Amino acid sequence: MECKAFEQNLALYLYEELGAEERSAFEGHAESCQNCRALLEQSRSVQRLLHRRRTIEPTPELLVQCREGLYRLLDHEQFGWRGLIRNWLPAIVGFPASRAVATAVLLALGFGLGWMLRPHAGKPLPLGKTDTAQAIPAGDLSNVHIDDITQVTPDSQTGAIRITLNAERKMTLEGSLDDPRIRDLLVNAVKGYDNAGIRRDTLDALRAGSQHPSVREALIYAMQHDPNTGMRLEALKSVEGMEWGSDLAQALVDSADHEANPGVRLTAIDALVKHAVQAKDRALAPELRRLAGNDSNPYVRLTCAKAVHDLVGDGY
């Protein structure tokens, strides 16, 4: 082996990527050539120096943040226009003798997107203005047949909420959660509306109103029954800030027992444990003791056992 080949193989030797024969030739040359031996030692020293970089392990908190952010992105992906196209277009195109239909659908989508992307489309309207929509007159909504809700815009600073919907015509409803019309509409929307994006906006609008029994019940319902994992997690975060009560305790216990998503389930159990320990709520001790004894997840068993110990002392 010559010095040039030695230098070219230096990194491969240091990182154990040379075959047995090449390795032997490399080591033979190092023994016979002082300059190359010095180069090898120098390279080893630099390699050792670079190993002083510490390996950073992702913290559990960072991992949870990453997952939550990803699930939000996936929600947008799943229920936005991309999801619509991905879910429906293959079915339409794959339908027998449907080329013409597919073309028509594509044209319609093109016009639809053009309409959506026209200037000012989709921008939330400032509260108090009605644009082309007609404001719903005061009075109850029992005589109004609502076809769909197109936008829910809560203002977190003022508590004002603007709802745009299609009834006999496009309409807007403005007010706050103190208005029973708004409250009832949002409560029904968060519990049963089929558009997850609207349910998410509705949840945001309801967060501040948990003092109303119907809102409280709706948030707990969303935490337990919403079909979307991200929504259940968001609803869980909302109910964590609510005043404690037996309804909330029972809902969290039910989530601990029946929630399918491991992340949401652990968050529910953490909320239960946190309340029990902070408020020294011994009423929860039997449920926590049951989880500590039976749960399949070692983290849950450990956390609950510690909480029971904190609550009832060495008697556990």
| Binding positions for another protein, rule: CB under 8 A | 8, 10-12, 14-15, 17, 42-43, 45-59, 62-63, 65-67, 69-71, 73-74, 77-78, 82, 86-87, 225, 227, 229, 258-262
Amino acid identity of 111?
F
Residue 21 in tokens: 């024969």
Comparing CB distances to another protein, the nearer of 231 and 272 is: 231
Comparing CB distances to another protein, the nearer of 67 and 280 is: 67
CB of 206 to another protein, least distance (A): 21
CB of 167 to another protein, least distance (A): 31
CB of 115 to another protein, least distance (A): 25
Comparing CB distances to another protein, the nearer of 153 and 228 is: 228
Q: Give the DSSP per-residue string, 160-228.
A: -EEEEEESSSEEEEEE-TTSHHHHHHHHHHHHH-S-HHHHHHHHHHHGGGTTSHHHHHHHHHHHHH-S-
Residue 264 burial class via C-beta count within 10 angstroms: exposed 0-12, middle 13-18, buried 19 and up: buried
Comparing CB distances to another protein, the nearer of 100 and 260 is: 260
Comparing CB distances to another protein, the nearer of 42 and 134 is: 42
CB of 262 to another protein, least distance (A): 6
CB of 45 to another protein, least distance (A): 3
Residue 305 in tokens: 């056992």
First to last CA, the chain: 73
Comparing CB distances to another protein, the nearer of 48 and 145 is: 48
CB of 19 to another protein, least distance (A): 12
The DSSP symbol for 314 reads G
Q: Give the DSSP per-residue string, 249-273.
A: HHHHHHHHHH-SSHHHHHHHHHHHH
